[in-house]
Structure 1
Amino acid sequence: MRKLHRGFLLAGILTALSVSAYADRNMNKIPHINLSNPSVEPVSEKVIQTDIVVIGGGLSGMSAGLTAVQGGAKVVIFEKLPSLGGAGVYPEGSLGIGTLMQKKEGKGATLNQAFGKAIDFPHWRANASALHALMKNSGETIDWVASNGVEF
């Protein structure tokens, strides 16, 4: 059985989601802040007509934006950094339990096996209920991401 290495799966997801199609190239300019005069100088002015504004282009913001687009909304995602991904570029933990890819390959740990290893690492000091829910839903979430064009 091949081992699932930490972070490779989400790193792949985030790399695929970081394409410029999700962000206006002019939106990644960070305003200059003069520390001697703490006022923000706008880089440019642009009026954008939208239904929903998502603040933060991390994994949660990108997922929220995609969900809103699928619901028919026009969405703009603002990210202060020059690239998308946020804290999601530093994934930690065993995710991808029960994905279609895993089932097709017949490989990988069961939810209980992966959860046992993940919760043992912090000596059960993590929120076991939240971790279990995250891991339980990870397969369906990854399948959803894949169904929206992310290739693994």
Structure 2
Amino acid sequence: MKVLFWNIRGMGKKSRMGLLKDIIYKEIVDIVGIQETIRRDFADWELLALTPGSSFQWKWLPAKGHSGGILVGVKNDIFEVEEWTLGEFFVRAVLRNRLDNFRWSLVVVYGPAQHDLSTAFLLELSEVLQNSPFPGLIGGGFQSNSDTRRQKQ
């Protein structure tokens, strides 16, 4: 199983979409977790173009203004998505491996750049993990104070 987590810093440019498509294809990626999409919505044709010849199920958390946004894709012939959950800072999928029926939880996060939201982010993440009866994989963008300082400069 191959999983790609990437803070893409905006999916509005065709070059980034092309690069993402190339990586998914060349690396034979089974799960995609993209942060900072800076997109409110995706058209079906855009998502189909990312994975030609493969069937993926997609879910996204819209960006707020000109920041954030998460896109998660799961290859249908490997995994069945039993449940999607959207939070303020995450997208969660309960997955079942079609080969051995193993169930697990995938959580893709994009932490807030604003330090005053850190407590809300950590509480939400803690709650989603504590309430899951399955083993899990967490990946994504975790902002730190140095990231915030760099963004302000």
Q: Would you say same fold, with TM above 0.5?
A: no
Q: Would you tell me which structure has more helix in proportion to its own residues?
A: 1
Q: Please say which structure displays the higher CA radius of gyration.
A: 1
Higher relative contact order (CA 8 A, sep 6+): 1
TM-score (normalised: structure 1): 0.30
TM-score (normalised: structure 2): 0.29
